[in-house]
Amino acid sequence: MNLENDGATSSSIFAWNYFLWEVRLALVASGFFLYLGIFCFSHFLSSWMSITYRSLPAKEKVFWNLTATRGVFGIQSCVAGLWALFLDPVFQADRVYSQQDWSWFSCLIASGFFLLENVAVHVSNFVFKTFDLFVVVHHFLAFGGFLGLVTNIKSGHYIPLMGMLLEMSTPFTCMSWMLLKAGWANTFFWKASQWVMIHMFHCRMILTYHMWWVCLSNWNAVLENLGLLHFIVVFTGLSAVTFILNPYWTYKKTLQLSCPVDWNFSERTVNNGSSMKLNGKAFQKKGL
């Protein structure tokens, strides 16, 4: 852990004593309330500006705001993940044990986000009597993996940062879904955003192969560094993303390009100013 840095680094916003439980828990709580604030801000801004949002039922409004919150988190995750993947010399030199002040900060804030995701998913499922097994498992394993960072201060950060980089698709998922709800599915702009999103899902698949290569080529060191329980959670999550979630979501998003249906709420047609058949053939564009 690079906690001994001085000079400019010591005055950085990232320079905290991460050995202390109160520091780690405070940053997790900060991440939780930061993204809860973004969720609420999305609601108020969308209520003011978006015709589409005001016409949605409550369940879809919750999903809209969660999608916007995930999009913002995806931007944070891309910055942190790409920095570790290509630019930070410490992570280039050691992908198992390395930690940085900035990576501690990023991972703990991400832990707060995944805590919010789990709370939001379970509360939403309870209130609206719904259940999506893939989403529940995905968020549970993601939070479990980052919870291990909170409890195990020697755990390396490269693999978690690559896990954050898997969120590279979420800003484009957010854009594509909102445009679809607004009835823009026949426009070039929506199709272009959908193509970029599909490409990001392919990049996610390549990134999981890189994560497997790092883990398999340093198997004993990774097991020693994580500890058995955290190791099981991380590899269960990585296996689920690699072999089930990424292929399934890539297939669904690719299918959606030719059949632009909102698969999350396909039980109803859009009646908020647009007309959309479930086969995706008829759309009427309206204002966002």
Please give the pLDDT value at position 275: 39
* Residue with the larger pLDDT of the pair 160 and 10: 160
> Has residue 151 got a pLDDT over 70?
yes
Please give the pLDDT value at position 272: 39
> Per-residue confidence at 126, pLDDT binned at 50, 70, 90?
confident
Please give the pLDDT value at position 262: 81
Cα 189 to its chain centre, rounded Å, is 23
Query: 284: which DSSP letter?
Result: -
The amino acid occupying position 105 is F
Q: Once rounded to an integer, what is the mean pLDDT over residues 247-268?
A: 82
Question: Do residues 172 and 256 touch, judged by C-beta distance below 8 A?
Answer: no
Alpha-helical runs (H) found in the chain: 21-49, 51-54, 58-82, 89-93, 101-128, 133-151, 158-165, 170-181, 188-217, 219-226, 228-240, 246-258
> Has residue 268 got a pLDDT over 70?
no
> Has residue 271 got a pLDDT over 90?
no
Please give the pLDDT value at position 269: 40
> Per-residue confidence at 274, pLDDT binned at 50, 70, 90?
very low
Which residue, 245, 281, 246, 274, is CA-closest to 260? 281
Q: Which long-range contacts (CB under 8 A, 24 or more apart) does 10-17 make?
A: 12/101, 12/102, 13/105, 14/100, 14/101, 14/102, 14/104, 14/105, 15/101, 16/101, 16/104, 16/105
Q: Once rounded to an integer, what is the mean pLDDT over residues 78-82?
A: 96
Which residue, 235, 15, 212, is CA-closest to 103? 15
Please give the pLDDT value at position 270: 41
> Has residue 186 got a pLDDT over 80?
yes
Question: Percent of the chain, pLDDT > 70?
Answer: 88
> Has residue 287 got a pLDDT over 80?
no
CA distance linking residue 110 with residue 98, whole number of Å: 18
Burial string for 80-94 (b: 16+ CB within 10 Å, else e) reads bbebbbeebebbeee
Which residue, 131, 151, 141, is CA-closest to 245? 141
Please give the pLDDT value at position 286: 52
Which residue, 164, 236, 251, is CA-closest to 207? 164
Mean pLDDT, rounded, of the chain? 86
Q: Once rounded to an integer, what is the mean pLDDT over residues 7-33?
A: 82
CA distance linking residue 266 with residue 220, whole number of Å: 46
Specify the length of the chain in residues. Answer: 288
Q: Once rounded to an integer, what is the mean pLDDT over residues 212-233?
A: 93
* Residue with the larger pLDDT of the pair 5 and 186: 186
Which has the minimum average pLDDT: 110-119, 171-180, 229-238, 275-284? Answer: 275-284
